[in-house]
Amino acid sequence: MSESGTTPGAAGGAEDAGAAAPAAAEPSGTATENKADRPAAAESAGEAGAARPAAAEAAAHPPQTKAEAEVLQEHREEVLEHAGEVAAQVGDPRDYLLLAHELKAGYIPEVNILNGCTLTLTEGEVVGIIGPNGAGKSTLIKTIFGLLPVRSGSITLRGESIVRRSAHQLVSSGVGYVPQTQNVFPSLTVEENLEMGAFLRPKVFQRRLEAVAELFPLLGQRRKQKAGALSGGERQMVAMGRALMMEPSVLLLDEPTAGLSPMFQDEVFQRVRQINETGVSVIMVEQNARRCLQICDRGYVLDQGRNAYTGTGRQLLDDPNVIELYLGTLAKAD
């Protein structure tokens, strides 16, 4: 356990360069922060930087020489050697809204991207997943949503296995998913996109349309406009709104701020908070690591398909090992 109370944790692999990979960890025995104590989302990118502790500011820089890079890599490998220790702490699956336990999965036969990673989600939480490119972050999200087969391990929703459920069955069970790219129907209007979100329950469309338009007023104003004519940030709102049409209890977000301007990134993070306040539990993969950790109840650092660290968002932001090994590198990527 690091000095700040975060926990190293869970198992290993490497990812192909083409896939954005997810994975995550599980409760480290550190109590989740009270909602009232959750760091407020910064209103601007400048505020996000100001929220960073002074120690983090000094340490969060990418290695400047080959020797520095080698030292950091050795440190990461030492952490990952103990990655399997956390999974054993998971209790009864019925204690969690969603539990992904010791997952192994990948795209190519006999090549695992996830190598025993574990993630838990309880009612009302926002859980953030961060890590370097190729860590397995998006792969985890896709595996949870049934888009990739589970080679070993388990996934439960309210204590029931969902490993072999198809995507549409998971949507009916209360799991929503927003992919990183190609997440709207560009030739359809905003309203038609939202209607597609309620395809399995057409009778709830009007009621849910009003609820989503209240959460995203811009969608109500532009409901007759083609989604393809919207900006990237506006399309992201459409994608999130469509996923909410079936009233999910769990929302999976795969890098929702990727490619967006700082202004729209702020907007997305604020909307995630608002969605969570309506009672939806959220699992969010993010490359904007600091902003993600600022709004989440708990965070997981994924590395090579394994859980490297887990803790509350604030603990991870302040942890010197996380700052040195991950936040500096991720800041350069952001």
Residue 321: which CATH number?
3.40.50.300
Residue 223 falls within a domain, yes or no? yes
Residue 278 CA, chain-centre distance (Å), reads: 18
The answer to whether residue 147 is domain-embedded is yes
| Domain-located, residue 257 | yes
Note the pLDDT of residue 59: 44
User: Other CB atoms closer than 10 Å to residue 330's CB: what's the count?
Assistant: 23
> Looking at residue 57, what is its pLDDT?
43
CA distance 118 to 260: 29
pLDDT recorded at residue 76 = 62
- 81 Cβ neighbours under 8 A, 6+ residues apart: none
Does residue 181 fall inside a structural domain?
Answer: yes
Q: Given this model, what pLDDT does residue 328 score?
A: 72
Inside any domain, residue 1 = no
pLDDT of residue 300: 95
Domain assignment present for residue 303? The answer is: yes
What whole-number distance in Å separates Cα of residue 152 and Cα of residue 115? 9
- Mean pLDDT, contiguous 10-residue spans, the chain (334 residues): 47 35 36 43 38 41 63 61 59 94 95 95 97 95 96 97 95 96 95 96 95 94 96 95 97 95 92 96 96 96 94 94 80 48
| Residue 81 falls inside a structural domain | yes
- Number of separate domains in the chain: 1
Under a CB-based contact definition with an 8 Å cutoff, are residues 129 and 77 in contact?
A: no
Q: Residue 80: which of 288, 292, 325, 284 has the closest Cα?
A: 325
Which domain, by its residues, includes 235? 7-333
What is the pTM (predicted TM-score) of this model?
0.78
Q: What does the pLDDT read at residue 65?
A: 75
pLDDT at 104 (0 to 100)? 97
DSSP conformational letter for 189: B
The reply to whether 2 falls in a domain is no
* H or E element in which residue 120 lies: strand 114-121
Task: Specify the residue for token string 């329950």.
Answer: 201
